[in-house]
Amino acid sequence: MAATTPLQGGPAHVAIIMDGNGRWAQSRGRPRLFGHQAGAKRVREIVNACPELGIRYLTIFAFSTENWKRTQAEVSGLMTLFRRYITKEAQALLKEGVRVRFIGDRDQLEPKLVKLMDELETLTAGNDRVHLTIALNYGGRDEVARAVKRLAHEVAAGQLDPEDVDAETLAKFLDTCVLPDPDLVIRTSGEARISNFLLWQSAYAEYEFSPILWPDFTAEEFGKIVEKFSGRERRFGAVPV
């Protein structure tokens, strides 16, 4: 590990776009799903590294609203992988003090998967060591649209005055309303784009684009990036006095 004690000035909330699973598998002559399986195993290592680095909140991008465009075989395989991950990891997450939340639109997901998601959230609701949020069928624009729709319903019902609507009000209708905004967003695999991930929440986040494919992204590399973050000056639009 790059650090053995929580870093001074380190991020409290890190969000990760876990990219590169398919390329990792193809470079080994294996199907893309093999890479997704390897990537799922990497998640445990990164989650376990968080307390040592002083990170209380970790949000990972597991499946986007755009990922439905992939082949039916890959999508079906990913949904099976999600079910297996929840079933396999539930007790370990509970034991390690990890509270799990899911964000995204659940309406398109199969009922069996949604049931497992609900059960894992309930099972780990009392944990507070690490807050793991999994973005599943999630898109930043979709999230904002759904939030605005819920807000509009309250306005139409007379429960909310339109004059009271501001950025703080809208944030209360987002999937992440109970979470702090991310301090650091990491994307693996060398791609330098945010792919519709936490668009509202990451307005003032620091970004790090790692060339490492997700299945090769170790806790040591994670620690190096977190340590690098601690040396940055975050001004949030202000000028230092």
SS3 for 74? helix
**Are 83 and 116 contacting, i.e. CB atoms less than 8 angstroms apart?**
yes
Q: What is the dihedral of CA 12, 215, 190, 192, to 10 degrees?
A: -50
Could you say which of 48, 67, 127, 196 is catalytic?
67
Q: What are phi and psi of 57, to 5 degrees?
A: -125, 130
67 carries an active-site annotation: yes
105 carries an active-site annotation: no
- DSSP at 53: G
Place of tokens 């339109």: 162
Q: What are phi and psi of 118, to 5 degrees?
A: -60, -45
Please report the DSSP string for 87-126 in residue order.
HHHHHHHHHTTEEEEEES--TTS-HHHHHHHHHHHHHTTT
**Are 199 and 29 contacting, i.e. CB atoms less than 8 angstroms apart?**
no
Please report the DSSP string for 180-208 in residue order.
PPPSEEEE-TT----TTSSTTTTTT-EEE
Show the tokens assigned to 225. Answer: 């990036």
Could you say which of 19, 21, 137, 183 is catalytic?
19
SS3 for 48? helix
CA distances from 160 to 145, 150, 153 (A): 18, 11, 9
Residues annotated catalytic, as ranges = 19, 67
